[in-house]
Chains A and B, each alone.
Chain A
Amino acid sequence: MRLSLALLALAAVLTPATALAHAFLDHAVPAVGSTVPAPAELRVFFTEALEPAFSAVTVATEAGQPVQTGAAKVDPGNPNELVLPLPKLAAGTYKASWHVVSVDTHRTEGHFEFTVQP
């Protein structure tokens, strides 16, 4: 009986109010490693809701030169999605770098490339 009460108390303490986790990349548009016509924006979808103040994505050329873009924002209609407006991109390979903080404060980061076709 005493053990049962102790286990119940432990379960009550440990049960999370909301289960959240590290945000992994789910998919992106343009897709990771894809070759596409020049996109107007980059959309990156994650497995968890993001903390807008600590989440961003940037794009650089294959040589590492940063691309001047609009500001990355979390989509108001989808807290799991980052949107980055892009200028007219020339043909070539681009590297997207993202770092995000999920709403439970776990931080993750990552990179991927996409290629703009001539």
Chain B
Amino acid sequence: MPWVLALLVFLPASAFAQQATPRLISDSPQYCAELSGRFAALEIEAPTHLRVLADEGRQLCAEGQTRSGIAKLRRALKEAQRGE
């Protein structure tokens, strides 16, 4: 059964390679919370539509759609910074 041997050799190697490859961590719920905190500092002066956008982002993060939530929060932050 050479293929079984090959599988035994390949699987740990693949797992090791996955571990060795650096991972992006800016799509985590923690980062979602960090962005939410950043927007909160600007929220008082931010226009309504940006506050709505940020709320939508928070909502998506809470629902587990972290990447979409982060994207909305980033847009809200960028627009708010531009308005400052």
Q: Say whether A and B bind each other.
A: no
